Chains A and B, each alone.
Chain A
Amino acid sequence: MSVAPDVCPPQVLARIADLELVARIVVEGLVSGLHRSPFHGYSAEFSQYRHYRQGDDLKHVDWKLVARTDRIYTKQYRETTNMPASIVLDSSASMSFPAAPSSRDDRPPSKFRYGVIAAAALAQLISAQGDAVGLLAGGRYIASRAGRPHLRGVLAALAGVQPGGSWSGAETVRRAAERLSGRGLLLVISDFYDDEDRMFEELRRAARRGHEVVLFQLLSREEIDLPYRQDLEFTDLETGRSLAVNAGLARRDYKDGMSAFLERWHSRAGSEGFQYSLVITDTPPALALRNFLLARGTS
């Protein structure tokens, strides 16, 4: 895979312990290719002109218009507020795949570590625009707030989360959507191996609340290709159930099932109006997020 020279590969990022630094590196690589802010700025927005009334602040008088028309108009603005964002990170045991690589090999990081980096970068990006960002991961909830001290709290919470056990995606999304005040941005990072119908039901409910739903489906290359040939006793990371098969012989059916699964998520998310991105862990996080933001800009 060719990587842009200003983009740091995931296996390098995974070795940096300082999550704030990682987030900065990702965001710097990310914004260098963008011409405008990916998230809409929320401040005073021009609405219309009206005749000057006594008592109006002179700074809102459009002097150029006065010069052209000899009439005094003042600009009228529509007030806007910041849009809060909440990042939901799947911390189930299935996200710990593949097993943590040693410091010497160049394998990509686990899905969870990749998800942490992506979440940190998103939080950094949102916070840098002055928006509020919150987190729900591994049973830890941080309400959405703006400001650098709050961002550091979010990053610290992210750094402390460990993957393990099962994860009720639908329940987590419901909790995050309910706690997100007003109309907000709900970013969900997961492999989405949960109950699809329940998950979509909760995502739809969040959308009805006025939240914008963004889905990052995070998978490893091995999960997509199943590149094994020998007899293996596969053990489910979440349930512990095992199944002995010849991986070479099982590959075709597996890939068919996986393709159908991904296609289903892509099409259902599109039909519901959610923004959906499939992210593979061998893609540099900055590149993945850049692609996501570019797609967001064109949508």
Chain B
Amino acid sequence: MWRHPLALLALVSVAAPILIHILVQRRAERFAFPTLRFIAPTRLAAIRRHLLEDAALLAVRIAILIVAIVALAGPLIVTAARRRAWNQQVVRAVVTDAAALVVAELAPPGTAPPVGAELAPPETISPGLRVHAEKAFDATTLTDGIRRGLTWLDTAPPGRRQLVIRSSFPIGSLTDSDIAAIPPGVGIVFERRGTLPLTRTVTVGTVLTAAGSRSQSVTLEGARTLVKDSSAAPNAEWPIEISSPPADRPALDAAVAAVRAERVWAPSADRRARLVIVDRADSMLPALPAAGAIQQPWMAEAIFRIARDPDLQAAAVNAAAGSNDPRLASAPWQTLAIAADGRPLILATASSAQLVVVSAAGAKELITPLLMRTVANAIAQPADLQQAEVTPIPERVLHAWSRDAGPAEPPRIDTIVDDDRRWFWLTALVLLAIETWMRRSRTSSAIQAEEHSRVA
């Protein structure tokens, strides 16, 4: 495993000392001398012996280069001992569902025996293991917390990886798909914290009906859900302003009445939309409100919801033709639905304080009331009943989802603080010392050997 594997390309430089040795060894300096009569030819044997010694020197020099290059590459040798050490330590991400805990803690006193409170926190790590690194993540949803925790585990130091999830675990806070997204080697531990009330009543919002506006509340009581309508104190206004040719007005009024009869959510007073109906047959293009970039989050969220509405999308493909108005062909207009001819049928953008939706469908077509219903529901913000859930995920389900952390996998090299490069540098230094010693002692030892042989 290498921290900088590209550094290994420098291994080609090993050829340098080999070439130097070959060139240097084969070229003894020429030296003009008066006579060779006293120079014994047998001295050539000494030179051959030197060549052998130099082969050892060459080997040491090559080894120095190789070791230095390997050190530069930042090696990590995954030995059995190292793997054992990794397997004895646990790195864990602790994900805390802050929203569910808050809801649980705010439950009215005396309404509960707390559901699930009798469950003791499980042992998070097995005996013999120790926590090497830990990081806490507070999240508004467990899905988001799990994602963040897994991202951190991916870059955490080596060890058994574990995800500890702390929540009161209301139903819906965690699903099978959330668990499936967790890699199999990551252990999962659930710690139930806080308690859920036995019953909870939530005011969901205001509903627009044919008879006026009504306030709607929901009471969650164990497995039962009670929905209660009551007349709203202020009568909520229809939130969509409609621009159309005058001939279409009766049909559009009928469509609004139909939508109200179906009941739609009433948005707050600061969320308004404008629906512009464009007649495809009319050669005179209608005036469009000034379009600007979408900057308010509720508008972006509403556009997202409109585009994802299945009924609207199903009806759009039945529309024969879309708009050919060139003013709608570019930003900031967003296409939300496409007609059968491939041209945009419904588009949206923002004006100063309104969400502007343009439809090329006729006022009498079915898609028009569908669009009105979708827009009205999209700009409203009914209470999220998930946050008010009082039924916990059963213990057996959590138990089935729980699992031990798998063996430590070879870590990403960038997560290793102490790799093995220091040992290679040390080896290079030792080899350098050996090389220096060999170089300095080569000639003197050869002369001494010669002296000894002469004495003998």
Contact = CB atoms under 8 A, between A and B. Distances in A.
The answer to whether A and B assemble together is yes
B447 A241 contact: no
B39 A245 contact: yes
Contacts of B39: 234, 243, 245, 250, 253-254
Contacts of B37: 193, 257, 261
A250 B33 contact: no
B443 interface: yes
Contacts of B47: 231, 244-246
Interface in B331-346: none
A274 B443 CA distance: 44
A233 B38 contact: no
Interface string A218-239: 0000010000111111111111
Contacts of B451: 252
Given A94-B35, A237-B34, A250-B43, A231 B454 contact: no
Given A193-B37, A231-B50, A252-B450, A245 B43 contact: yes
Interface in B16-40: 28-40
B46 interface: yes
B326 interface: no
A235 to B, nearest CB: 5
B41 interface: yes
Q: Mostly helix, strand, loop or mixed at chain B's interface?
A: mixed
B44 interface: yes
Contacts of A228: 31
A99 B30 CA distance: 13
B56 interface: no
B119 to A, nearest CB: 86
Interface residues of B, number: 25
B446 interface: yes
Contact of B33 (A111, A231, A235): A235
A248 interface: yes
B41 A235 contact: no
A71 B54 CA distance: 97
B34 A230 contact: no
B220 to A, nearest CB: 97
B40 A253 contact: yes
A191 interface: yes
Contact of B443 (A234, A248, A257): A248
Q: Which of B32, B44, B46 has the most CB of A within 10 A?
A: B32
A242 interface: yes
Given A243-B41, A245-B43, A234 B31 contact: yes
Interface in A90-127: 94-95, 97, 99, 111
A249 interface: yes
Nearest to A93: B34
B55 to A, nearest CB: 15
Interface in B254-281: none
Contacts of A94: 34-35
Contact of A242 (B30, B35, B43, B450): B30
A235 B35 contact: no
Interface in B398-456: 443, 446-447, 450-451, 454
B447 A249 contact: yes
A199 interface: no
A233 B33 CA distance: 10
Contacts of B29: 230-233
A258 interface: yes
B237 to A, nearest CB: 105
B43 A249 contact: yes
Contacts of B46: 245-246, 249-250
B30 to A, nearest CB: 5
A230 B28 CA distance: 8
Contact of B454 (A191, A233, A252): A252
B41 A193 contact: no
B38 A257 contact: yes
A239 B43 CA distance: 20
A229 B31 CA distance: 13
Contacts of A257: 37-38, 40
B44 A237 contact: no
Given A249-B46, A249-B446, A249-B450, A232 B34 contact: no
A249 B28 CA distance: 14
B38 A254 contact: yes
B130 to A, nearest CB: 63
Nearest to A246: B46
A99 B33 CA distance: 9
A233 B454 CA distance: 24
Contact of B32 (A97, A229, A258, A261): A97
Contact of B43 (A95, A230, A246, A258): A246
Max chain A Cβ within 10 angstroms of own Cβ: one of B29, B34, B447 = B34
Contacts of B446: 246, 248-249
B35 A193 contact: yes
Contact of A99 (B32, B44, B454): B32
A97 B450 contact: no
Contacts of B41: 243, 245
B443 A229 contact: yes
Contacts of B28: 230-233, 244
Contacts of A111: 34
A239 B32 CA distance: 11
B31 A232 contact: yes
Nearest to B31: A232
Given A258-B38, A261-B38, A235 B31 contact: yes
Contacts of B454: 252
Contact of A243 (B32, B36, B443): B36
A223 B450 CA distance: 21
A244 B44 contact: yes
27 contacts: A95-B34, A97-B33, A193-B34, A193-B35, A223-B33, A223-B34, A231-B28, A232-B29, A233-B31, A234-B36, A234-B39, A235-B32, A238-B34, A238-B35, A241-B36, A243-B39, A243-B41, A243-B44, A245-B44, A245-B47, A248-B443, A248-B446, A249-B446, A250-B46, A253-B39, A257-B38, A261-B37
